[in-house]
A and B are shown apart, each in its own frame.
Chain A
Amino acid sequence: MNISVFSSRNSKEIIRDPLSIAFGIGLPLILQIFVSALQNKIGVDIFKIEYFTSGIAVFSFSFVSLFSGMLISKDRTSSFLNKLFSSPLSAFEYILGYTFPMLFIAIIQSVCCFALSIALGMQFNANIIYAVIVLIPVSLLFIAIGILLGSLFNDKQVGGIFAGFAQVVALSSGMWFDLNLIGGVMKSICYALPFAHAVDLVKGVVIGNYSGLFIHFIWIAVYTVVIYILAVKVFKKNMKN
């Protein structure tokens, strides 16, 4: 009951800031249209609509990290969260209350992303539905990162960190270039982070090639669990300080 009440409040706070939502959903779509036009001209493998859509779907979740981080940090700095900490809500209810509305936005982002791809010529099949489902655990990773950032930093800092974070996601995920081309240490660093695994996982599902996907899923799951545990710990510490 408390989780749904708190989730509903958080949804309203986000939805009533339409500029952010339009930016978070709109910008990745504009990028997708731009790359699709580029692909029609130069024809590069990595920009094939099946591949690039997977990358853009994962990249769009960095805005979910921004939304969750900003919401929590604003709640903290405005004392609103302090007031709520004296209420019967538990840390678990707070975390889920912040997670659910973000999950809803992430699903909308994924659906918009694939709907646009279909409009741009991608063949609709069951794999697209599976990809949207697979993107749910991937979005949890980004939500956890947002909750952690929002619990650690104020809203101005979160905004600044997001600029760097979005770059890390874009460059290390392999959405813009094939990571095999750079190889070596850089490739290892990219695959030590979860974003390339996320793109490979979604890409594999979209094209229906399931071999080797489980290991990508494990990477994402481990990162998600670890970051959620950290976020809960920091959040709990905030509750007592």
Chain B
Amino acid sequence: MKAIETLNLSKAFKKRKAVDGLTLSIEKGEFFALLGQNGAGKTTTIKILCGLSKPTEGKAFVLGKDVSSDDSFKEKINVSPQETAVAPNLSVYENLKFIAEIYGNKRNAASEKAENMIKYFSLSERRNDKAKTLSGGMQRKLSIAMALITDPEVLFLDEPTLGLDVRARRELWEKIKTLKGKVTIILTTHYLEEAEALADRICIMNRGRISEIGTVQELKEKTGKDNFEDVFLMLTEQEDEL
């Protein structure tokens, strides 16, 4: 069974197609990156795969479940959305415990997991502070910790390092790296070096369609470019010219 499979997946908003005939499959344990310019359809794809948006055409399966008709897959996935998604008046610890509990963990187990996440993400000093008092980088870390605390089989990271300074971004990369092979990760990002360093395969999207898909090396070979930024620009340029 694949972690994710989409068949001719499309999502239209009135006349505009945000996702247009997307067909792809992602193996379990794979680190998969979705790249593209703004409005390429990355976030819409993630939203469909998380069950947050219904496709207008086609099918999407997460861990073998049809996302349009069977919500049971939601217990096994988690998401760190593009915008910070924390409960502002809850402390760091309470935010983590809350998420663990709504995914079915008993109070003690949730508490233990929350403490582990606090240690893992070096949030101990801010453990009892309200989430709204944290810096943007800290909130982002908490958001990712809240996505990981449920031990998801599939983890969606929608631009997890957006707005972070270099140090915070590097730190977060290191954390994400340790998950490789253990969790199926679908990452969207505008930082090409992030995808290049972390992803097993990369899908470049443009105007809702797959422009190209493969490993970094395969994409370089297909386009004849040595630099990944050139690969990206070429694949998105080609589509722009159409």
What mask results when residues 46 to 64 of chain B are scored 1 for a CB within 8 Å of chain A, else 0?
Answer: 0000111110000000000
Partner among B51, B78, B81, B102 whose Cβ is within 8 Å of the Cβ of A79: B81
| A89 lies within 8 A of B102 (CB) | yes
Cα A116 to Cα B38 in complex, Å, equals 58
| A86 lies within 8 A of B87 (CB) | no
Partner among B75, B89, B101 whose Cβ is within 8 Å of the Cβ of A13: B89
| B85 lies within 8 A of A83 (CB) | yes
Q: Does B98 reach chain A (CB closer than 8 Å)?
A: yes
Q: Does A240 reach chain B (CB closer than 8 Å)?
A: yes
| A86 lies within 8 A of B74 (CB) | yes
Q: Which residues of B sit under 8 angstroms from A89, Cβ to Cβ? A: 102
Partner among A2, A74, A78 whose Cβ is within 8 Å of the Cβ of B102: A2
| B103 lies within 8 A of A88 (CB) | yes
Residue of B nearest to A77 (CB): B83
| B89 lies within 8 A of A5 (CB) | no
Please provide the chain A residues from 188 to 225 with a CB less than 8 Å away from any CB of chain B in the complex: none
| B88 lies within 8 A of A78 (CB) | yes
| A8 CB to nearest chain B CB (Å) | 8
Q: Which residues of A sit under 8 angstroms from B146, Cβ to Cβ? A: 83
Q: Does A41 reach chain B (CB closer than 8 Å)?
A: no
Count the A residues whose beta carbon is within 8 Å of the partner chain — how many? 26
Q: Does A80 reach chain B (CB closer than 8 Å)?
A: yes
Cα A182 to Cα B166 in complex, Å, equals 69
| B85 lies within 8 A of A240 (CB) | no
Q: Does A84 reach chain B (CB closer than 8 Å)?
A: yes
Q: Does B134 reach chain A (CB closer than 8 Å)?
A: no
Q: Which residues of B sit under 8 angstroms from A83, Cβ to Cβ? A: 79-81, 85, 143, 146
Can you add 12 more A-B contacts, CB < 8 Å, to A83-B81, A86-B74?
Answer: A5-B98, A9-B98, A12-B87, A13-B90, A79-B81, A79-B82, A79-B84, A79-B85, A86-B50, A86-B52, A87-B103, A88-B102
A-B contact pairs, 8 of them (CB 8 A): A5-B98, A6-B102, A17-B89, A87-B102, A89-B102, A239-B52, A240-B52, A241-B53
Residues on B lying within 8 angstroms of A by beta carbon are: 50-54, 71, 74-75, 77-90, 94, 98-99, 101-104, 130, 143, 146, 156
